[in-house]
Structure 1
Amino acid sequence: MSDQLRLILFDVDGTLVDSQAAIVSSMTSAFDALGLPAPARPAILSIVGLSLPQAMACLAPEQESGTQNRLVEAYKHSYHQTRLALGAAHSPLFPGARELLDALHAVPHFLLGVATGKSKRGLDGLIEAHGLEKYFVTRQVADHHPSKPHPSMIDAARAETGVRACDTVMIGDTSFDMDMAAAAGVPGIGVSWGYHPPQSLTRAQHVIAAFDDLPKLLNEIWT
């Protein structure tokens, strides 16, 4: 592998952190607050990765846009309050995530970034809670982009870092992440431990079963 700059982008929920309990709880609270029946857990997890307006449109398609907007705000409030109360325990890192980030961050020509459906407030809070400030040179969030699978997040991360598409990878747990990678013309690497089943990651060029598998795979991709 040469010392050409490489950009390694990560999804967050379901890839680096296990936030499913917080997401399901906050989504249920949002529907309860408006007196609506809450979606089932599998339905909630199926929309993880989408920006909130798109997620609510999927979960409550029979509701008018005003109600969907109120659901979005109720979810944001519940999620924020729970995160403030629980800190890092709100969305714990998956075992091995920090060790992987340390190993990749130590490689001088690797640049790490995030492309997430979270808001800037949500991502900043999570990074602060886990002490991840040093790792990510680019942070792409839902506030500034169309929802996944639009390629805007990856395009912006590449523009910020000056890294070519062939020297960029996108790592995530959902079909939205893999579709976004394909739309941006970069390799998508799926993870098997997230919220979409591995068999749904049809546009992934690779799927890994453990964080330890990633460094070797990157070496194969970029050799």
Structure 2
Amino acid sequence: MSYSLLLFDYDGTLCDTRAAIKYSLRRTFQEFGYSKPVEPALRAVVQQGLPLAATLLGLHPAGTGPLPATWTETYRRIYRAEAEQLVRPFPGAQQVLAAAVALGCTVVVISNKGLAILENSLARLGLREYAALVLGDDPTATAPLPLKPDPALFTQRIQPRFPQFTSSSTLMIGDTATDLQFAQNCGIAACWASYGFGHAAECAAFKPVHRISSLTELLPLLTQ
């Protein structure tokens, strides 16, 4: 199968953001006067790849109601000002994106992360130039962005932008069950980045078409 539209997840697929995410979550709880989440809880919630609001709520005691928007705003402020510098691209990230573009593929980066943080991070790491489109959560947008695993992210935001590509020529590359469920919901092939953050058993249950243990293993899929 030849793929020409590549949808890359950011956290855990292109970039190792674990240290930045955990730092920001601990600091957010600290700032609101709560005990810092412990490592097992942090690891479990990062493995899921959920939207930020759900991640924060998941770390609260059972039965906690919806959190005020100030929680997500505070997390993003801390992440942007203090934690983003901890982010590192996975080995081969720039090489793979450059090779994909050179082969004529169109690259889209999609994430449940805030769009401003996502754009700034990709630019700082020298990866933004390879992406034809970057999609992330933008609280200032008139119409909220559907977040993974909602297939509306694909049908309403990606397909209209790139109508020349079919579902069969589209590949989702991601590391969590959320990414793989998104691909399944969209009816597109999935490549599981098993080196990332996802829980192995949960990801394997989605039976992704491809599995890679490093980013550079993606290259042969693009030249088949």
TM over 0.5: yes
Shift of 1:40: 2.7
Q: What secondary structure sits across from 1:214 in the alignment?
A: helix
Aligned residues of 1:46 and 1:195 also touching (Cα < 8 A):
no
Report the Cα distance in structure 1 between the residues aligned to 2:14 and 2:174, rounded to whole angstroms.
9
Report the Cα distance in structure 1 between the residues aligned to 2:197 and 2:39, rounded to whole angstroms.
11
Aligned AA (1:117): N
Report the Cα distance in structure 2 between the residues aligned to 1:188 and 1:205, rounded to whole angstroms.
6
User: 2:22 aligns to what?
Assistant: 24
Report the Cα distance in structure 1 between the residues aligned to 2:58 and 2:148, rounded to whole angstroms.
14
Structure 1 residues 141-195: Cα deviation after superposition (integer angstroms, max 9, x where no partner): 1224233211122222222111211110100110000000100110111111111
Unaligned runs of 5+ residues in structure 2 are: 139-143
Which of residues 167, 184, 188 in structure 2 aligns to 1:165? 167
Report the Cα distance in structure 2 between the residues aligned to 1:200 and 1:206, rounded to whole angstroms.
15
User: 2:93 aligns to what?
Assistant: 97
Which of residues 13, 16, 21 in structure 2 aligns to 1:15? 13
Deviates more, 1:21-30 or 1:206-215: 206-215
Aligned residues of 1:11 and 1:114 also touching (Cα < 8 A):
yes
Aligned residues of 2:51 and 2:113 also touching (Cα < 8 A):
yes
CA RMSD, aligned part only? 2.0
Unaligned runs of 5+ residues in structure 1 are: none
Report the Cα distance in structure 1 between the residues aligned to 2:217 and 2:131, rounded to whole angstroms.
20
Report the Cα distance in structure 2 between the residues aligned to 1:94 and 1:44, rounded to whole angstroms.
21
Percent pairwise identity? 29
Shift of 1:219: 4.5
User: 1:44 aligns to what?
Assistant: 42
Shift of 1:37: 2.3
Deviates more, 1:111-120 or 1:154-163: 154-163
User: 2:221 aligns to what?
Assistant: 217
Matching of residues 119-158 of structure 1 within 5 Å: 119-143=114-138, 144-155=144-155, 156-158=157-159
Aligned residues of 1:191 and 1:210 also touching (Cα < 8 A):
yes
Which of residues 163, 174, 177 in structure 2 aligns to 1:175? 177
User: 2:74 aligns to what?
Assistant: 74
Report the Cα distance in structure 2 between the residues aligned to 1:211 and 1:80, rounded to whole angstroms.
26
Label 1:124 to 1:34 Cα distance change in 2 as closer, same or farther (>3 A). same
User: 1:58 aligns to what?
Assistant: 58
Aligned AA (1:125): N
User: 2:33 aligns to what?
Assistant: 35
Length, aligned pairs only: 212
Report the Cα distance in structure 1 between the residues aligned to 2:198 and 2:95, rounded to whole angstroms.
24
Aligned residues of 1:114 and 1:136 also touching (Cα < 8 A):
yes
Shift of 1:21: 0.5
Q: What secondary structure sits across from 2:159 in the alignment?
A: helix
Aligned residues of 1:54 and 1:147 also touching (Cα < 8 A):
no
Shift of 1:206: 2.0
Report the Cα distance in structure 2 between the residues aligned to 1:196 and 1:39, rounded to whole angstroms.
19
Aligned residues of 2:53 and 2:67 also touching (Cα < 8 A):
no
Report the Cα distance in structure 2 between the residues aligned to 1:104 and 1:146, rounded to whole angstroms.
26
Aligned residues of 2:167 and 2:188 also touching (Cα < 8 A):
yes
Structure 1 runs, 4 residues or longer, greater than 4 Å off: none
Shift of 1:25: 0.5
Aligned AA (1:34): F
Aligned AA (1:210): S
Aligned AA (1:95): P
